[in-house]
Amino acid sequence: MAKVDWHKNDIVDNTVITDSYKTTHNVRRYFKSKFGEEFKFDRDFMQWMKNSVGLTMGDASQEWMRRQNSK
């Protein structure tokens, strides 16, 4: 699996979540570009991200939406 610099790399839907995943401002920018200012990290979602090695950021976006819709 290619190493991703979560601080600097362009993050797109097909970016694979790696074991080096970090919750960075760059990741936050990716989600805000998709969901606007309503996007917020919470502890459960941050843990989900850490446990999602091999999935994509597109998968993460779908998970975030699923969590929002279930509130």
Res. 3: pLDDT tops 90: no
pLDDT at residue number 22: 95
- Answer whether residue 37 is part of any domain: yes
pLDDT at residue number 56: 98
- Answer whether residue 46 is part of any domain: yes
Task: State which residues form the domain around 55.
Answer: 25-69
Token pair recorded at residue 56: 């994509």
- Answer whether residue 5 is part of any domain: no
Distance CA 52, CA 71 (A): 22
pTM score, whole prediction: 0.93
Count how many domains the chain has.
1
- Answer whether residue 44 is part of any domain: yes
pLDDT tens, position by position, 25-67: 999 999 999 999 999 999 999 999 999 999 999 999 999 999 9
- Answer whether residue 40 is part of any domain: yes
Reported in sequence order, the residue ranges of the chain that DSSP labels E, i.e. its strands, are: none
